A and B are shown apart, each in its own frame.
Chain A
Amino acid sequence: MGVVKLELKGISKAFGTFYANQDIDLVVESGQIHCLLGENGAGKSTLMNVLYGLYEPTAGQILVDDQLVTFRGPGDAMAAGIGMVHQHFMLVPVFTVAENVALGAEPTTFGGVLSIEETRKKIREISDKYGFDVDPDALVEDLPVGVQQRVEIIKALVREAKVLILDEPTAVLTPQETDELLDIMRQLKAGGTSIVFISHKLREVKAVSDVITVIRRGKVVGDAPPTASATELASMMVGRPVSLSLNKAPAQRKETTFVVENLTVRAANGTNVVDGISFDIAQGEILAVAGVQGNGQTELTEAILGIQDHVTGSVTLDGKQLLGLPVKDVLRSGVGFVPEDRTVDGLVGPFSVAENLVLDLYDQAPFASGISMKPAKVAEHAKAKIEEFDIRTPSAGSAAGTLSGGNQQKVVMARELSRPLRLFIASQPTRGVDVGSIEFLHKRIVAERDVGTPVMIVSTELDEVIELADRIAVLYKGKLVGIVPAGTPRDTLGLMMAGVGPEGGSDD
């Protein structure tokens, strides 16, 4: 089995008049881990979809071992030895592992009858070789995300992929799972598989790459060695100098005004998605809630806001019970809330930026009098906020949905921070936001803390948690594993995110 050298020459991919990739050159040497580093929307995934035959390039050539190839579909790419693990797994949830692995390259006997036993055998072989511990007969929908990812890798290996593309593989993993994945990548490399590793997380990229290619706005900015500093890499990604550390002052804790006691949220299937959680936040401090996605964070914040049913326990702000109040009354009590998905809950896409900036205040003075709105006041307000938050929009009247992710997030933040607050809750405050805007949004959050508001941040990005938190609460399967001070080592936090308590005992 020969190893494969992969070369992209002048690849461009246009969607309409928009170029997602423009004139990209890339050489992946055999047996290397080659990282594509770039922000969300920089065009990394598009490029890989071109390479995998899912998109047809508008211009450019792909060479495998110096041979010009054209991929009409993923089948051609696989035949050339290219495998891909997509960011959103391409697994059929109701199929078993073996069925998923077999799909598309099914071993059959006479007449197309499946002989799934052969696939089972191959899965066991690969699983043993790399220590994957995957049961071929498990239903994929019952497997944890980390194991599903291994199924995806097995899928590529069964097809004898010589080049493996991993598209943002660590986004859904705990820090421990991430470390395991990095180990697997090193093992694969040692076994002769080249890896294209797509990421925007500097720490992982530096840990595992042989070569780093930075992409910005669809173009290659340049290559960097893995020894380059995080600040250098970040500056290459953004295209201007970036300061990665926030340098915030220590918290000035005042009175404790926000208290959550024994909060429990029951899901439709009878399980407790939030299970007896108690914590409090003082004025002037940031409590960051860490945890892998789907461990009850969404339900926790929504329960506080009052948009979850079947909630028991107590949530008090300034001594007033919030549970059971209509959402409007909760907001009127001075709660600012940034939802985790701005496009679903944070904005009305077709509404203008100005309208989105007053979604919570449109029926009050000065934006309304009686039943009529006052457009002049709304526009004035919009102008001020666009300036204050540096929202890049063609005009205040542009539809919010047409803005970039970072600017949409700024609109949501600007709205929630433009009233006097007694409590500020932000879920995933910088998800999908470019590094430059992250810096700005983080500063705003700290500024809100410094005026004496209790702040609760929910984030699945451990870097962000460490950056912002004065105290860190870790959720696992709806339970609070523990609350630890800022400065707790990453490894400890990582273990807590996997359910192991800060004292070392298992909480499961």
Chain B
Amino acid sequence: MSATTTAPKPGSTALPAFRPSMKVPLSLGILALVALVFFGFLGPDQTAEMKISDAGDAVAVPALMIPGQVGGVVFGILLLAMAAYSIYLWTQGERSPKWLPIAFAVVFVFALLVWIVAGARQPSISLAGLVAGSVTLAVPLVFGSLSGVLCERVGVVNIAIEGQLLGGAFTAALVATMTGSPYIGLIAAAAAGAAVSMVLAVFSIKYLVNQIIVGVVLNVLVSGITGFLYGTLMVPNKEQFNTPGRLDILPIPLLSDIPIIGPILFEQSIAGYLMYIAVAVVWFGLFKTRWGLRVRAVGEHPQAADTLGINVNATRFWNVTLGGAIAGIGGAVFTLVTIDTFTKDISGGRGFIALAALIFGRWNPIGAFLASLLFGFAYNLQSIIGIIGTPVPSQFMAMLPYLVTIFAVAGLVGKSRPPAASGIPYVKG
């Protein structure tokens, strides 16, 4: 081997210069083109009316009027510009900044909305209603994903959120009807969720059964039990067992009149207010208190926690139980807020969406909350589109929340890191 030659040596392979992944620039580019062509050039020619305040509101804000085709082209060009910026950064070997995909997503969703509304039989929607409805639909998801956060942060994977929601929904309906008080129903729902969670805790922590399997079995079990009781108890005796009544909406005077955010923040039932409180309390608890430090240590490095005198399995047990109680309250929302009866499998897979929300939210209560809002928005959009009537088949629209989930979790989460000990049972020694 001559050392002077500069020609590539046999066996050596050329290595490309290090570049960040082109996943983001590429997908932004494709989506921008889709938006320009479908929303713009092939877009509807009606004008979409986006109402900001409702007729009865104290403060009236004029509605946004956006012509379908022109709006689509403008949005499309805006999106293309963002995609181009991202591609430019990629050629320079730089990663796109974090705000870029988020801004892109917001504009894209708005363009999608304009396209749908302008193409509808009745080209008008209320933005305020859309947002408020999204929050309402997100409430069970938020409770569910908070339950997941509490469990995974402590090292237990909670696949049983669905079962906890369903158990809570059923118990809330039953107890509220029998006692005549939705508030007692709400408390009973928390107890039911906690009970489901305790089964998960005992089997996965004490008996070291695979957490995923216990969770899946619990979902099936709760679905079976509530389905059976619904059929044998509630259907024949609806008056006695399945007319829970609703939790009162408690508007806060004045504040609830603020356009858009008023109804979201200040015109909720007690469950809605509890949601905001729970998000804040769980976040503060996890990151600012002794309890939270210990919880996170147990989820990240249980052995380290053990050597410092922290009881790993007890911490896990109580956290999982608490998570179940929170999910139970989320379940009560189905039967005490959204509608006022229980039907078989009323949670309809929302527990799994909540699981996705917690991953999308990166195991952070606030992240999980925002992710839940996104999924709530997808659910709400689906139903609103059904009402205003669009050329898009309703079956396709029914897929929307799940499509959003898949793209959100697969594409945008990236390399987020779950708690290191999540899903791993702790055995001393």
Residues of A within 8 Å of B, CB-based: how many?
46
Output the least CB separation between B286 and chain A (Å).
11
* Contact A312–B305 (Cβ < 8 Å): no
Cross-chain contact of B300 among A94, A108, A312, A316 (Cβ < 8 A): A94
- Residues on A close to B: CB < 8 A? 49, 52, 54-55, 73-76, 78, 84, 86, 90-95, 99-100, 102-106, 108, 111-114, 155, 259, 261, 266, 270, 310-316, 321-325
Measured CB to CB, the nearest residue on chain B to A310 is: B15
* Contact A92–B304 (Cβ < 8 Å): yes
Interface digits, B279-309 against A, CB 8 Å rule (1 contact, 0 not)?
A: 0000000001111111011001101111111
Output the least CB separation between B137 and chain A (Å).
33
* Contact A113–B289 (Cβ < 8 Å): yes
Output the least CB separation between A466 and chain B (Å).
31
* Contact B11–A54 (Cβ < 8 Å): no
Cross-chain contact of A312 among B12, B18, B292, B296 (Cβ < 8 A): B12
21 cross-chain CB contacts under 8 A: A78-B308, A90-B308, A92-B296, A92-B300, A100-B304, A103-B297, A103-B305, A103-B310, A104-B308, A108-B289, A112-B289, A113-B288, A114-B292, A155-B308, A266-B18, A312-B12, A312-B13, A314-B10, A314-B11, A321-B10, A324-B13
Output the least CB separation between A245 and chain B (Å).
38
Output the least CB separation between A257 and chain B (Å).
12
| Chain A residues, CB < 8 A from B98 | none
Q: How far is the CA of A73 from the CA of B310 in the complex (A)?
A: 9
* Contact A324–B301 (Cβ < 8 Å): no
Given contacts A74-B307, A111-B289, 17 further A-B contacts (CB under 8 A): A49-B429, A54-B306, A74-B306, A95-B297, A95-B300, A103-B310, A106-B290, A112-B291, A113-B289, A114-B288, A114-B290, A259-B1, A261-B1, A313-B12, A314-B9, A321-B11, A325-B11
| Chain B residues, CB < 8 A from A90 | 301, 303-304, 307-308
The residue in A55, A74, A90, A104 that gathers the most chain B C-beta atoms within 10 A of its C-beta is: A104
| Chain B residues, CB < 8 A from A325 | 11
Residues of chain B in range 197-222 having any CB-CB distance to chain A below 8 Å: none
Measured CB to CB, the nearest residue on chain A to B291 is: A112
| Chain A residues, CB < 8 A from B13 | 311-312, 324
| Chain B residues, CB < 8 A from A322 | 11
| Chain B residues, CB < 8 A from A111 | 289
Q: How far is the CA of A323 from the CA of B304 in the complex (A)?
A: 42
Cross-chain contact of A314 among B1, B291, B308 (Cβ < 8 A): B1
Q: How far is the CA of A375 from the CA of B1 in the complex (A)?
A: 45
| Chain A residues, CB < 8 A from B428 | 54
Q: Is B113 an interface residue, CB under 8 A from the partner?
A: no
Q: How far is the CA of A219 from the CA of B308 in the complex (A)?
A: 28
| Chain A residues, CB < 8 A from B429 | 49, 54-55
- Residues on B close to A: CB < 8 A? 1, 3, 9-15, 18, 288-294, 296-297, 300-301, 303-311, 417, 420, 428-429
| Chain A residues, CB < 8 A from B310 | 103-104
| Chain B residues, CB < 8 A from A102 | 293
Cross-chain contact of A84 among B289, B290, B291, B307 (Cβ < 8 A): B307
Output the least CB separation between A113 and chain B (Å).
5
* Contact A91–B304 (Cβ < 8 Å): yes
Query: What is the predominant secondary structure among interface residues of chain B facing chain A?
Result: loop
Output the least CB separation between A309 and chain B (Å).
10
Measured CB to CB, the nearest residue on chain B to A88 is: B303
Output the least CB separation between A91 and chain B (Å).
6
Output the least CB separation between B381 and chain A (Å).
36
Q: How far is the CA of A471 from the CA of B288 in the complex (A)?
A: 55
Question: Do A324 and B11 contact each other (CB < 8 Å), given the known contacts A54-B429, A106-B290, A270-B18?
Answer: yes
| Chain B residues, CB < 8 A from A316 | 1
Q: How far is the CA of A259 from the CA of B296 in the complex (A)?
A: 50
Output the least CB separation between B327 and chain A (Å).
24
Q: How far is the CA of A261 from the CA of B14 in the complex (A)?
A: 15
Question: Do A104 and B309 contact each other (CB < 8 Å), given the known contacts A114-B288, A313-B12?
Answer: yes
Q: How far is the CA of A104 from the CA of B12 in the complex (A)?
A: 53
Q: How far is the CA of A86 from the CA of B429 in the complex (A)?
A: 13
Measured CB to CB, the nearest residue on chain B to A266 is: B15
* Contact B15–A312 (Cβ < 8 Å): yes
Q: How far is the CA of A104 from the CA of B315 in the complex (A)?
A: 13
The residue in B1, B288, B290, B294 that gathers the most chain A C-beta atoms within 10 A of its C-beta is: B290
Measured CB to CB, the nearest residue on chain A to B289 is: A112
Output the least CB separation between A156 and chain B (Å).
11
Measured CB to CB, the nearest residue on chain A to B9 is: A314
| Chain B residues, CB < 8 A from A313 | 9, 12
* Contact A323–B306 (Cβ < 8 Å): no
Q: How far is the CA of A93 from the CA of B297 in the complex (A)?
A: 10
Output the least CB separation between A474 and chain B (Å).
22
Shortest Cβ-Cβ A-B pairs, 8 listed: A75-B309, A104-B308, A90-B304, A270-B18, A323-B11, A321-B11, A106-B290, A314-B9
| Chain B residues, CB < 8 A from A155 | 308
Q: How far is the CA of A102 from the CA of B289 in the complex (A)?
A: 11
Output the least CB separation between B390 and chain A (Å).
45
| Chain A residues, CB < 8 A from B3 | 261
Question: Do A103 and B294 contact each other (CB < 8 Å), given the known contacts A86-B307, A90-B308, A91-B304?
Answer: yes
Output the least CB separation between B278 and chain A (Å).
17
Question: Do A114 and B308 contact each other (CB < 8 Å), given the known contacts A91-B301, A92-B300?
Answer: no
